[in-house]
Structure 1
Amino acid sequence: MKDLVTGSDVPLRSAQKQEWDKPFAMTQQGFKRFRRRKGRDDPGAEHDTVVTGRGDSASQTAPVTQETAQEMAKSSAKLASRLTADDDRNRFARRPEARQTSQLDGLANTEPQMQRLPATVPEVWERLHRVPLDIRGHQAARSPLVNFFRNSPTANAFDLLRTRLLHSLKAQGWKRVAIAAPTAGCGSTFSAVNLALSMARVPGTRTILMDLNFRRPGIASALKLPPSGDMPGFLSGDLSLPEHLIRPAASLAVGLTAAPDRNAAEILHDGRCAGVIDDMVLSTGADVTLFDLPPVLEHDDTAAFLPQVDGVLLIADGTRTTAAHLAACEKMFEGQTQLLGVSLNRARGAGLLQYGQ
């Protein structure tokens, strides 16, 4: 320690200089130990010497009293405590470095609902309101529907008519069929309903049945459905497809007429009617669309609607339809549409229903 005071030994002074270059590195206990060592080395010394360095070759000495040394020790202890606390606080306050996230990482952290957006909208056919048939009610009332009497001659006749009609439509690329009778009471609504039910049983086939008999609507009654349809509003474009059509079966859609309308011919003559029918067939993806129309020879409703169909299935009655009626109807269809065939109801001695060309 004598060498530190006198500066006689340069290497030792350099080591002490490096130790004191660290600011406030000596604590209070270290200073006391320094004092004890200094007293043992130089008991007669009255003053201590502090060597300070600024990083250059020159060094300076300054006398330090006991009071000054104590104050310096206290300041050093406080500063060391504060630096230690600051270091701990900074260590716990460290945050992980933010890494740049890619677009795929962002998608992986999103919720499953967000990944499914935008959601797909169901097609028009699936958005039609489903109204199942009252099977028990039909069976109790013994409704004349082929779906409930599959082994009857009537059901077999309608299945045969269905198959032949589908073959003819597919060969020609047609989809729209009008079903009408020469006069009232021939069973056109009965034939239209049962033919639609038979077609709906064909796998992968969509069928639409439209009640355009504004004189005497009968499809809702035949299927025991509530007569809540607004056919005039639909054909004028005021109602959308999901607002008007209903689905009694998975592959069958029905458009109903709630009440008779004396302006039937004007409704079918309206140019908006043709646009609505075109949009309906295109939007639903229907394979066959059947239109139940009023008697051909009694009103001009059917004649007004002929340009909208690909062909007509004429329903005759064996007890009231004559050859003159059929000839008159055929003449009316000439140049307007095709006569697809004649279905004969109440044929004498030949079963309940026959099909002829």
Structure 2
Amino acid sequence: MKDAINDAEAPGTCGQKLEWDDPIAMTQQGFKRFRRRKGRNSSDPEHDTALTGQPQSAPNAPQQGGENAREMAAAARSAQADEGRRFARRPESSRNRPLEGISDTDPKPQRLPANLPEMWERLHRVPLDIRGHQVARSPLVNFFRNSPTANAFDLLRTRLLHSLKAQGWKRVAVAAPTAGCGATFSAVNLALSMARVPGTRTVLMDLNFRRPGVASALKLPPAGDMPGFLSGELTLAEHLIRPAASLAVGLTAAPDRNAAEILHDGRCASVIDDMVLSTSADVTLFDLPPVLEHDDTAAFLPQVDGVLLIADGTRTTAAHLAACEKLFDGQTQLLGVSLNRARGAGLLQFGQ
């Protein structure tokens, strides 16, 4: 033991002083040098007894050398144990420590929420009373497919769809110069005709706050709150209903004297934009009050791509059409003029 201490202080050897009271493990190389100094045969296999814990004595080594080797192996094992305790892992902090009752349980696979159907499918479905319409002879083209009027609306539908697709437009206002020209009648039948086109979606909005008539024409309960919807108080799913698979309507329950102010409100434009985007509608029709009698239509013109003007063959004059065209100039596009109640055309008179 004295030789090992003196040898560690000799020049050219390890510069660290070994103190047996200090728990420092003996390295493998130092233990080999120790065995060579004690007369161990260099030809013996250099097996690290400190690591295996089973010291091997050389066959030709003296008894004292074997005892020294066993003592050094025991010292090495003790030093290794002390070193292991020194560098043992520190206890986990409360931040990294798992919660009680959770560490012993296997984590369950996370379940993602189910995908909601798109907005169009979430709209409340209110089917039309087909039998009631047929008995009352409602003036709807869906129940008189062979009539000249139904054919005229189908032709108007096709031409309008071609024009909108060519320009990339989706919003159409349906209005008349004066009251009684049949704007609501034309808007409802045009929407029904468009809804029969496969793969298309049509939205019809009743913005005629002066005389709302879409609910009456379709024989639907007039329970819609259009002012509340345009102001953002009602969601899209709470207001719009679907009377057909490819047709959605927004109804107005009662007249409102603040119609122009409602359509002037900036929230109205935001709600309309969100509705067109959320429903992915191909065409959105807006039934509006008479152009020359109220400023409602003029207030809403920035929200549409074009206007379909409905003229009455018995009351609309050229001056009316010229005044409407002047009003639309610089605001929106005049998509065309549809003549209702044309004299001598031989069209079917509904409801008679």
Q: Are residue 326 (structure 1) and residue 303 (structure 2) matched? A: no
Q: Greater helix percent: which structure?
A: 1
AA aligned to 2:294 is H
Q: 1:348 deviation in Å? A: 1.2
Q: Which residue of 2 aligns with 1:128?
A: 123
AA aligned to 1:235 is L
TM-score, structure 1 as length reference:
0.67
Runs of 4+ in 1 over 3 A off after TM superposition: none
- Distance in 1, matches of 2:344 and 2:125, equals 41
Q: 1:343 deviation in Å? A: 0.3
Q: RMSD over aligned Cα, in angstroms?
A: 1.7
In structure 2, which of residues 203, 207, 211 is the aligned counterpart of residue 216 of structure 1?
A: 211
Q: Which residue of 1 aligns with 2:261?
A: 266
Deviations 1:116-143 (A, max 9, x none): x421011111000000000010000000
In structure 1, which of residues 278, 282, 290 is the aligned counterpart of residue 285 of structure 2?
A: 290
Deviations 1:42-61 (A, max 9, x none): xxxxxxxxxxxxxxxxxxxx
- Distance in 1, matches of 2:316 and 2:158, equals 25
Q: Which residue of 1 aligns with 2:63?
A: none
In structure 2, list runs of 5 or more residues that go unmatched. 1-105
Q: 1:350 deviation in Å? A: 2.1
In structure 1, which of residues 285, 295, 301 is the aligned counterpart of residue 296 of structure 2?
A: 301
Aligned pairs for 1:87-102 within 5 A: none
Contact 1:345 1:352 in 2 (8 A): no
Q: Which residue of 2 aligns with 1:336?
A: 331
Deviations 1:260-318 (A, max 9, x none): 00000000000000000000000010000000000000000000000000000000000
- Distance in 1, matches of 2:139 and 2:343, equals 19
Percent of paired sites with the same residue: 91
Aligned pairs for 1:154-233 within 5 A: 154-233=149-228
Q: Are residue 137 (structure 1) and residue 132 (structure 2) matched? A: yes
TM-score, structure 2 as length reference:
0.68
Deviations 1:216-254 (A, max 9, x none): 000000000000000000000000000000000000000
Q: 1:349 deviation in Å? A: 1.1
AA aligned to 2:175 is A
- Distance in 2, matches of 1:297 and 1:181, equals 8
In structure 1, list runs of 5 or more residues that go unmatched. 1-101, 108-113
Aligned pairs for 1:50-129 within 5 A: 117-129=112-124
Deviations 1:136-186 (A, max 9, x none): 100000001000000000000000000000000000000000000000000
AA aligned to 2:210 is R
Higher Rg: 1
Q: 1:351 deviation in Å? A: 3.6
